[in-house]
Structure 1
Amino acid sequence: MKKISFVMVVMMLCSIMTVNGIEPYTSAPGKSAIVMEVETGRVLFEKNSHEKMPTASTTKIMTALLAIENVDPEKVVKIPPEAVGIEGSSIYLRANETVKMVDLLYGLMLRSGNDAATAIAIEVAGSVEEFASLMTQRARELGAENTSFMNPHGLHHDLHYTTAYDLALITQAAMKESLFKKIVGTKFHTAESRDAEFKYFANKNKILKTTEGGDGVKTGYTKKSGRCLVASATRNDMQLIAISLNDYDYFNTTRKLLDDSFAIFKPHQILQEGDVMATISVTEGKVDTLDLLARDKVVIPVSDEEVDKIKTVVEAPDAVMAPVDQGAIIGKVHTYLDGELINTTELLAAVSIQKLTFKDKFLRFLRIK
């Protein structure tokens, strides 16, 4: 039998991974993996990231997102009998017990309560089936085209699946919700709305303790899915999501993915909020010109080799007709990296400009004469 050298092994690993043209930097032993920057959605690393897979309790990221988007977190929820005794991880809800939605969310994300997931689903949509439909619909809205949800908790179903890429998109949206980010970054929570002994929730996610800047988000495991982890960390004002699916060493994999990504990619500021990006003419206005300001601060993750490949393109009319309201959207500025669109930010009118009255026009005519 022909021996395989260490060099050959490395070459085979490199052949199945890409890092946007940059030399691969980890073996990523899981079946599928991805690293995504939260603000721009730029993919920094991927391995089989579009392969459909069962992802167990990482499903609950979408469950939490829908709950936060649709229900007041302070709402008191009466637990339906259908949510009691769900197999797997549990926060031991009791039928007709009343619990605040926010405490159900903590139980969902810290203790991975399948009963909490079911109670949330029924509260939001009336049934598990309808909630699963909403989950898939919301996934499509986020661009997650290869995702199908059949339940709110991730217990195995042949038609329940997603991809590392889709899961990153869902997590990206969730991490932009302040309550979600607070919950998944919490190490210990006491559910004050519960009078039962099962009101203390400790976070199972080791990323919070073992990774510099670790701030969430969710573990998952079933026999079909294997060990799955969605991890997140923030360093130098840049937040990255690392996902490894069907990976026996998922904590070490995601920690290394994060460490290597932060080492290779640095935040590079393109625009500051309020930067003047263009000056255009104003027709029939009391002022003849108008500055257009960048709506947002734009920071993108780039490697040292990519800095010179950044280009910004302003898309705006040459002139606008008065009146103009301050803050009105007049155009956009697009940021490209090596020819690929990576960010689009709106351009806003810097000031309000009133339309010339007949008197204004007459006075101008006299000044010209």
Structure 2
Amino acid sequence: MRIICVLHNMKPWRWIWIGLGLIVAITCFKGLEKILPVESDYQRVNKYPSLVYLPDYTTGPKIYASAAILVEAVSGMILYAKNEHQQRAPASTTKIMTAIVCLEKGKLDDIVIISPKAAGTGGSSLWLKAGEMISFHELLEGVLLRSGNDGCVALAEHVAGSEQGFVRLMNRKAKEIGALNSNFRNTHGLTTPNHYTTAFDLAQITRYGFAHPEFSRIVGAKEEAIEWYLGEKTRIARNTNRLLWSFAGADGVKTGTTSRAGYCLVASATRDGRKFIAVVLNSPDRWGESARLLEYGFSNFSLKLLCKADTPVTEVKIRQGAPSVVSLYPRRDLMVVIPKGKEGEAQKKVILDYGALIPPVKAGASVGKISFYYQGQEVEWVELFPMERVQREYWWNRFFRRK
């Protein structure tokens, strides 16, 4: 009643200020939604961390692409970024998302019958004809290597019944894996209104794609023989990614070109256990700029394992707890990237939530974190938890145990 009376007697000009304040707050929040990466439920449940920024990420080689990013794939650390959250037409880099959904929703051994709609798709092509039959696996190779738009539509229709049904699966999956600033309207990347993604999201999507062995194998292949069902014909699909021939360790992933998107490339390379993913969108020299980004990663950064999920990082005494001492484990491995020669500026800290350590404490409950600090700034962290339950021990329990 008191609150209602106060609101009723409030001066009209105060209502105006409150309304303006709410509008500003909502506008700012929506703006932040588009800029700041948010860890999705999928990432939390599956221990798949979002991308994180290493300090000084804006320094690096001179890049003229409209948007670009360099990510170390194992740790998820961003080492260079330029306009990485800018929404842009992705052209055929769209097919990375298409391939992921195909691998998770389709069956590689299925036989796909080509529809008139698929056969009539414009742009880069596998030269499919209506009524032809080809295996799901062969089509997927043609999509990722030869960039066949007709193959994209054929796969989509086979998996979801229609291309638009498949596109809904693409958008749903993108949100699950943390690509929150993307909207797909087709499976191939031909220019369509409201079809966009970002360099950040493409790096996140590609990093997830490498968790699929078949994705890794196909995007790293220089060429494959695409065979139609029952040996009707065979065509050689040569990878459109030139870096596979020219850059040491290159192992993926996808080109893209349209008049609206410009020249785009998502590239990856692996050397000595370090894997980097570079994305350039609308680049005047996608091969050279991608190579410079990848080489910048290999030349300037080292990868370090801070803790393993199956190894305790600390022990803590629990007052009035049984047991009285418990080991704490990280929820996942914590891999970090450190600039070479600056290892002394990196440190790890264990931070405990003592309120959560008052017994009883459930097994698996979050009771703190282990953090990676670089140049005094917290860059990444992982929750700590006990593997065993800690019961509360009362004084009489200890008294009778002494007896």
User: Offset at 1:217?
Assistant: 0.3
Q: Map residues 128-147 of structure 1 onto 2, 5 A cutoff.
A: 128-147=163-182
Gaps of 5+ in 1: 1-17
Q: When the two structures are aligned, how many residues end up with a matched partner? A: 342
Retained in 2: the 8 A contact 1:28–1:253? yes
User: Offset at 1:44?
Assistant: 0.8
Q: Map residues 142-153 of structure 1 onto 2, 5 A cutoff.
A: 142-153=177-188
1:215 counterpart SS class = strand
Provide the aligned C-alpha RMSD in A: 3.0
Q: Which residue of 2 aligns with 1:173?
A: 208
Which of 67, 70, 74 in structure 1 is aligned with 2:102? Answer: 67
In the alignment, is residue 368 of structure 1 matched against residue 393 of structure 2? no
| C-alpha distance in 1 between matches for 2:402 and 2:277 | 62
Residue identity opposite 1:337 in structure 2? Y
Retained in 2: the 8 A contact 1:334–1:341? no
In the alignment, is residue 210 of structure 1 matched against residue 246 of structure 2? yes
| C-alpha distance in 2 between matches for 1:55 and 1:126 | 24
Alignment CA distance shift 1:314-1:101 (3 Å):
farther
Instruction: Return 291-300 or 330-339, whichever deviates more.
Output: 330-339
Instruction: String of CA shifts for 1:141-183, please: whole Å, max 9, x gaps.
Output: 3333332211000001121111111211111211222221121
Retained in 2: the 8 A contact 1:105–1:116? yes
Retained in 2: the 8 A contact 1:331–1:346? yes
| C-alpha distance in 1 between matches for 2:215 and 2:379 | 25
Identity %: 33
In the alignment, is residue 154 of structure 1 matched against residue 216 of structure 2? no
User: Offset at 1:82?
Assistant: 1.8
Retained in 1: the 8 A contact 2:72–2:277? yes
Retained in 2: the 8 A contact 1:236–1:267? no
Retained in 2: the 8 A contact 1:58–1:154? yes
Q: Which residue of 2 aligns with 1:14?
A: none
User: Offset at 1:54?
Assistant: 1.2
Residue identity opposite 1:105 in structure 2? L
Retained in 1: the 8 A contact 2:307–2:313? no
Which of 41, 51, 54 in structure 1 is aligned with 2:76? Answer: 41
Q: Which residue of 1 aligns with 2:342?
A: 305
User: Offset at 1:34?
Assistant: 0.9
Instruction: String of CA shifts for 1:286-313, please: whole Å, max 9, x gaps.
Output: x554323335432211213365243333
Q: Which residue of 2 aligns with 1:120?
A: 155
User: Offset at 1:283?
Assistant: 7.8
Retained in 2: the 8 A contact 1:282–1:321? no
| C-alpha distance in 2 between matches for 1:260 and 1:77 | 43
| C-alpha distance in 1 between matches for 2:344 and 2:159 | 45
Q: Which residue of 2 aligns with 1:235?
A: 271
Residue identity opposite 2:302 in structure 1? K
| C-alpha distance in 2 between matches for 1:276 and 1:119 | 49
| C-alpha distance in 1 between matches for 2:211 and 2:373 | 23
In the alignment, is residue 224 of structure 1 matched against residue 260 of structure 2? yes
Retained in 1: the 8 A contact 2:370–2:384? no
Which of 274, 296, 303 in structure 2 is aligned with 1:267? Answer: 303
Q: Which residue of 2 aligns with 1:78?
A: 113
Q: Report the TM-score, using the length of structure 2 for normalisation.
A: 0.75
| C-alpha distance in 2 between matches for 1:354 and 1:245 | 52
Alignment CA distance shift 1:334-1:76 (3 Å):
farther
| C-alpha distance in 2 between matches for 1:20 and 1:271 | 21
Q: Map residues 195-206 of structure 1 onto 2, 5 A cutoff.
A: 195-206=231-242
| C-alpha distance in 2 between matches for 1:86 and 1:217 | 23
* Larger helix share, 1 or 2: 2
User: Offset at 1:30?
Assistant: 1.6
User: Offset at 1:218?
Assistant: 0.2
Which of 218, 223, 247 in structure 2 is aligned with 1:188? Answer: 223
Retained in 1: the 8 A contact 2:69–2:81? yes
